[in-house]
A and B are shown apart, each in its own frame.
Chain A
Amino acid sequence: MTALLEVRNLSVAYGAIEAVRDISFTVEAGQIVSLIGANGAGKTTTLRTISGLLRPASGEILFQGKPIHNDPAHAILGEGIAHCPEGRRLFPRMTVEENLQLGAYVRKDDGVQADMERVYELFPVLGERRHNKAGLFSGGEQQMLAIGRAMMSKPRLLMLDEPSMGLSPIMTQKIFDTIKELQSLGTTILLVEQNALAALALSDHGYVIDLGRTTLDGPGHQLLADQRVRDAYLGEAH
């Protein structure tokens, strides 16, 4: 059986600077997979390349066995990959409802309204303020909206970039609970996190990225126990 997403020997460069060198990983359907690593390791670049905002210098990206790395960014969502970008990137001058409608931009079916109600059920605070401008929301609420917006396209694969960034511990916990819930509803999740502890605890599989390469990988709990990972990313002093 082919993996849902397979990234093979991916390299990406900004001009002459290679941000990603030879990264490979796979995401099986139904899993939560996380990419962890320090700032500047190339995690965000990898996600942006998968969603077509950047072009690989070399390597391939296969989704459901089909190469997608030459598709334009706006076509990737139609393939079934939603990307919830770093810093949330809501449309601040639009209402909650309009943001969600944009999430469903590529859908032509009648289920949009029902799915919107489901997002409001999942995040009641959004439902209460559906006609307010997104720019006025708190960080945690914005993250909920960003996830909700990404879910509106009913993706096979949801990519989340630093969903816990800038959030309080309680809010972070809530976001991670939500991610787990989304998985149980059948969505495959590719998670990029600096909060390695929380991410690995949640993940079926994890990859450690360092200076643009995959250096380690294994099931989340196994990586959590790995001394090298603990040294490098979990802030444990010797």
Chain B
Amino acid sequence: MSTVDTTSGKRSALAPFAKPLAAVGGVLAIVAALLPWVTFTLNDGNWPDKSTLQFFDAPFAVTGFRWHLLLLGVLILVAAFAPIPSRGRVVRALGWGVAVVSFINGAYITAKGGGLGAITALDGATAFGSVAGLVAGVLTILAGYGYGITPVGEWKFKPPTPVAYLVLLVSFAGVLLAVAAMLTTGGVGTSNPYAGAIFLSFLGFAGGVLGALSGVGFIRWLSVLSEEHRVFSVIVLAACALLLPFTDAGNEYWMTVAANIGIYAATAIGLNIVVGLAGLLDLGYVAFMGIGALVAANFSGAAAANFGIELPFPVAAVIAAVVAGIFGAIVGSPTLRVRGDYLAIVTLAFGEIFTRSAQNDIGGMTNGSNAIPGIPALSLFGKEFNRELSIGAVKLPAGVLYYILIVLLVAATMAVFANLKFSRIGRAWIAIREDEDAARAMGIRTGQAKILAFLIGATLAGLAGAVFAHKNATVSYESFKFLESITLLAAVILGGMGSIPGAVLGASLLFVLPEKLRDFEEFRLMIFGLALILIMRFRPQGLIPDRHRRAELADEDVGGAPVDEVHAASKEAKA
């Protein structure tokens, strides 16, 4: 907004101090990394990563969060003195990284160790690491505002194809390592009492670095690059995903988690077609996944199945997808007359009708609250998908075949999404999302296009549901209730509406977090609810915004807070 700029006052006040603030912040972050963090051994054992090190005792022994802080500190110093575009954004993102890492560790030590004594001074031992880190973070964030939040840097540089391939290869390999690290960092919440803290701290670090990369323009450049070499990117990305079993994450537990994430990611991408591309809020979406799962379960030959027939999985999966798609078209048909929030309520009503009917074992298809258990695992050439796999000398963990199947499923949904997005119908959806009346006036058959969005989204969900049924061996209506729809919606919104990497990231975060934060399992849904509120308030475009959508949602990126009246007026002016 060029009209009112509330940050300009702060900016001018801080501008002269930007460089010294960043320098102090960077140095302080490094110092914080080397300071002791806790004065005594906590109830659940030592705070990880040698955090009781004395000042400069063993500067080369820093690992874990202290290593992250050290890195962030160095990056801040580099950003402060090297000539880089959009310095303010970069420094601000790094500052947030430092602040979050320090806050998470400090807060956990305080909470788990009983009081502020743990992070300050006790019995002669001092441990101001978290305090120093927090101060460093705040100073650096202020420095970022001091530099000024200018638009994201744009890189005109266009590398020749081989170089581009190399860049993409390295970047995606980096993504693979980051994903593996994200899964394994801190281990499992049930076995490591500090898993949650370690994981959140890692997220803070990763978020800071990603924010900096995005601020400097690298991410945008990379996404342009990958769009130019789309086929190559998809292949490399799929290859990277298939390599995950060979990393640290290659054990049964993480394969299972990754497979579950994949199922929900595929479903979330389907939902993203409806919500993100066509702008139709679907609050009963998980019902289609349920329909797919129930159809597949009934054709699976499980003892509780309704039909005596057992179909091979591919056939059953296609039937599941088709049936879900038909229901999708039915649920979508009111879009011919209903719009916006009322349409959302219609979809919610359909979702509830599904839940109620399934709960009451409608037509004997769902087995009600007894669920349909004992769905056989998939098998290929006599090899069951839930067993271990060894190819020659390489032993792969159990569940790896499901993982691979689901990676292919996600890749397929992504391909469908990407192709639709850039197709004629995709442009029609976007036009409808922006202004339905104008789209209609331009000759777009809006009714048809909207029903098609529902149909395609539901088909993908039905397919994912069929895999879900076999993967989990049990199908119960409980897995497809309203709150699951909300969770999927949260994944889409958190990641960024209309954005593919966003949907995958959103699904990953929402389904990895509960694995990591076992103490928070209880609070899972509450946090999702809060997340929806906070995202809508502070970052409605999501973590990885769709590039097209970014323009319309991200007022803040231009700088300055909008005054609501001006905002309203600009809408009026457009009308």
A197 contacts B by Cβ under 8 Å: no
Contacts of B566 in A (CB 8 A): 13-14, 54-55
Q: Would B573 and A17 count as touching, CB distance under 8 A?
A: yes
- Of the candidates A19, A52, A57, the one having the most CB atoms from chain B within 10 angstroms of its own CB is A57
> With contacts A55-B3, A57-B4 known, is A14 near B573, CB below 8 A?
yes
Interface string of B457-485 (1 = CB under 8 A from A): 00000000000000000000000000000
B441 contacts A by Cβ under 8 Å: no
For the A-B complex, the count of residue pairs with Cβ-Cβ distances under 8 Å equals: 32
Q: From A15, which residue of chain B is reached at the shortest CB distance?
A: B570
**What are 12 A-B pairs with beta-carbon distances under 8 A?**
A13-B2, A13-B3, A14-B573, A15-B1, A15-B570, A17-B573, A19-B573, A54-B565, A54-B566, A55-B563, A56-B3, A57-B2
> With contacts A14-B570, A14-B573 known, is A52 near B2, CB below 8 A?
no
Bound complex: CA A14 to CA B1 (Å): 9
B393 contacts A by Cβ under 8 Å: no
In whole Å, how far is B3's beta carbon from the nearest beta carbon of chain A? Answer: 4
Q: How many A residues have CB within 8 A of the partner chain?
A: 15
Contacts of B2 in A (CB 8 A): 13, 15-16, 57
Interface string of A57-76 (1 = CB under 8 A from B): 10000000000000001000
In whole Å, how far is B200's beta carbon from the nearest beta carbon of chain A? Answer: 38
Interface residues of A in 13-34 (CB under 8 A from B): 13-17, 19
Interface residues of A in 53-101 (CB under 8 A from B): 53-57, 73
Q: Would B565 and A52 count as touching, CB distance under 8 A?
A: yes
Contacts of B394 in A (CB 8 A): none
Interface string of B1-44 (1 = CB under 8 A from A): 11110000000000000000000000000000000000000000
Q: A55-B563, A56-B3, A57-B2 are in contact. List 15 more A-B contacts (CB 8 A).
A: A12-B3, A13-B2, A13-B3, A13-B566, A14-B566, A15-B1, A15-B570, A16-B2, A19-B573, A48-B569, A52-B565, A53-B569, A54-B565, A55-B3, A55-B4
Contacts of A14 in B (CB 8 A): 566, 569-570, 573
Contacts of A13 in B (CB 8 A): 2-3, 566
Q: Would A57 and B573 count as touching, CB distance under 8 A?
A: no
Q: From B572, which residue of chain A is reached at the shortest CB distance?
A: A14
Q: From A45, which residue of chain B is reached at the shortest CB distance?
A: B569
Contacts of A48 in B (CB 8 A): 569
Bound complex: CA A70 to CA B4 (Å): 11
Interface string of B535-575 (1 = CB under 8 A from A): 00000000000000000000000000001011001100100
Choose among A16, A19, A57, A73 the residue that contacts B565 (Cβ–Cβ < 8 A): A73
In whole Å, how far is A169's beta carbon from the nearest beta carbon of chain B? Answer: 30
Contacts of B573 in A (CB 8 A): 14-15, 17, 19
In whole Å, how far is B434's beta carbon from the nearest beta carbon of chain A? Answer: 15
Contacts of B565 in A (CB 8 A): 52-55, 73
Bound complex: CA A99 to CA B515 (Å): 60
Bound complex: CA A19 to CA B574 (Å): 13
Bound complex: CA A16 to CA B562 (Å): 12
In whole Å, how far is B33's beta carbon from the nearest beta carbon of chain A? Answer: 44
Interface string of A34-55 (1 = CB under 8 A from B): 0000000000000010001111
Q: From A54, which residue of chain B is reached at the shortest CB distance?
A: B569
Contacts of A56 in B (CB 8 A): 3
In whole Å, how far is A212's beta carbon from the nearest beta carbon of chain B? Answer: 13
Bound complex: CA A73 to CA B565 (Å): 9
Interface residues of A in 128-170 (CB under 8 A from B): none
Bound complex: CA A57 to CA B569 (Å): 13
The 7 A-B pairs with the shortest beta carbon distances in the complex, nearest first, are: A14-B570, A14-B573, A57-B3, A15-B570, A55-B563, A13-B3, A54-B569
Q: From A16, which residue of chain B is reached at the shortest CB distance?
A: B2
Q: From B568, which residue of chain A is reached at the shortest CB distance?
A: A53
In whole Å, how far is A81's beta carbon from the nearest beta carbon of chain B? Answer: 16
Q: From A52, which residue of chain B is reached at the shortest CB distance?
A: B565
Bound complex: CA A44 to CA B108 (Å): 57
Contacts of B3 in A (CB 8 A): 12-13, 55-57
Contacts of B4 in A (CB 8 A): 55, 57
Bound complex: CA A161 to CA B563 (Å): 24
Contacts of A19 in B (CB 8 A): 573
Interface string of B263-292 (1 = CB under 8 A from A): 000000000000000000000000000000
Bound complex: CA A19 to CA B4 (Å): 15
In whole Å, how far is A66's beta carbon from the nearest beta carbon of chain B? Answer: 20
In whole Å, how far is B395's beta carbon from the nearest beta carbon of chain A? Answer: 60
Interface string of A188-212 (1 = CB under 8 A from B): 0000000000000000000000000
In whole Å, how far is B560's beta carbon from the nearest beta carbon of chain A? Answer: 10
Contacts of B569 in A (CB 8 A): 14, 48, 53-54
Bound complex: CA A15 to CA B565 (Å): 11
Contacts of B563 in A (CB 8 A): 55
Bound complex: CA A30 to CA B573 (Å): 33
Q: From A73, which residue of chain B is reached at the shortest CB distance?
A: B565
Bound complex: CA A56 to CA B563 (Å): 10
Contacts of B1 in A (CB 8 A): 15
Contacts of A73 in B (CB 8 A): 565
- Of the candidates A13, A15, A16, A56, the one having the most CB atoms from chain B within 10 angstroms of its own CB is A15
Bound complex: CA A28 to CA B507 (Å): 64
Bound complex: CA A12 to CA B565 (Å): 12
Bound complex: CA A55 to CA B1 (Å): 12
Bound complex: CA A57 to CA B560 (Å): 12
Q: From A11, which residue of chain B is reached at the shortest CB distance?
A: B3
Bound complex: CA A17 to CA B569 (Å): 12
Q: From B564, which residue of chain A is reached at the shortest CB distance?
A: A55
Q: From B4, which residue of chain A is reached at the shortest CB distance?
A: A55
Q: From A57, which residue of chain B is reached at the shortest CB distance?
A: B3
Bound complex: CA A13 to CA B573 (Å): 10
Bound complex: CA A17 to CA B3 (Å): 10
Bound complex: CA A207 to CA B3 (Å): 24
In whole Å, how far is A103's beta carbon from the nearest beta carbon of chain B? Answer: 21
Bound complex: CA A53 to CA B572 (Å): 12
In whole Å, how far is A39's beta carbon from the nearest beta carbon of chain B? Answer: 14
Interface residues of B in 496-516 (CB under 8 A from A): none
